[in-house]
Amino acid sequence: MEKDHYSEKEAADTIRPIVDAIKYCHEMGIVHRDIKPENLLYNSVDPSAIIKISDFGLARYYNDDLMTTACGTPSYVAPEILIGKGYDLSVDYWSIGVVLYIMLCGFPPFYEDSNEALFEAVKQGQFEFPSPFWDDISDMAKDLIRNCLQVNPRSRFGAEQILAHEWISGLNTPRVDMPHVTAKIREYNAKRRFRKYANTAIASNKFMAAAKEAKKR
């Protein structure tokens, strides 16, 4: 929001170390389970500052056994967590896909008036690239987001695929400014102050109650 110039190239350069850090966590057997903008922090105000992942309060060790605890932040949670049949490390890459979407337009792909409606949209993978906000965003970026936001975790991109994607690794990633993004982020943040569920982490019973209610619809 404080940048004078902001482009897809800068977004790619920002998301790359996040993916790399999550890849390292996964190699160490740790799944984060609450990736969101609020948990991505720069270590200084310098333009070349390092971005780091914070808040491992919902993280846990993972040993190839499917996790079943329903937790996360509603706007960023993966559909398999809501379905309740078990999930693995790939939930972090879904959340990264949501973060990337926000970085390129200023608002999330899933945004409803209630948790129940939000969860239903997430489970169905119902999102779009609305005009005019996405008109000037490259097809490369949209392709990466689609592959991160795959409802089926087996079809979803993992760290290696994300880092190898042409939008992340290519020299042709657009460097044109996206002036509308910061204004949309400010607007979204203002709305979020009145809708706490959008950025509040939820765990266990409370989360499952909302998820079960969504299943009935």
Which string of DSSP letters, residue by residue, matches 70-83? -EE-GGG--HHHHH
Residue 103 lies in a domain: yes
Integer Cα distance of 93 and 64 in angstroms: 17
Range picked from 37-46, 86-95, 174-183 for highest mean pLDDT: 86-95
Residue 165 lies in a domain: yes
Mean pLDDT of 172-184: 75
Residue 2 lies in a domain: no
Catalytic option among 4, 13, 34, 65: 34
pLDDT at 126: 85
Residue 62 lies in a domain: yes
Expressed as residue numbers, the domain containing 82 is: 8-215
pLDDT of residue 210 exceeding 80: no
pLDDT of residue 183 exceeding 90: no
Residue 3 lies in a domain: no
pLDDT of residue 26 exceeding 60: yes
What does the mean pLDDT of the chain come to?
A: 85
Residue 122 lies in a domain: yes
Domain count of the chain?
Answer: 1
Which band of pLDDT confidence, cut at 50, 70 and 90, is reported for residue 115? confident
What's the pLDDT tens digit per position in 119-154?
999 999 989 999 888 988 999 999 999 999 999 999
Residue 1 lies in a domain: no
Q: What is the CATH number of the domain that holds 195?
A: 1.10.510.10
To the query of whether residue 139 is one of the catalytic residues in this protein, the response is: no
Which band of pLDDT confidence, cut at 50, 70 and 90, is reported for residue 181? confident
Residue 30 lies in a domain: yes
pLDDT at 15: 95
* Residue labelled with tokens 């509040």: 200
Report strand pairing: 202-203 vs 71-72: antiparallel
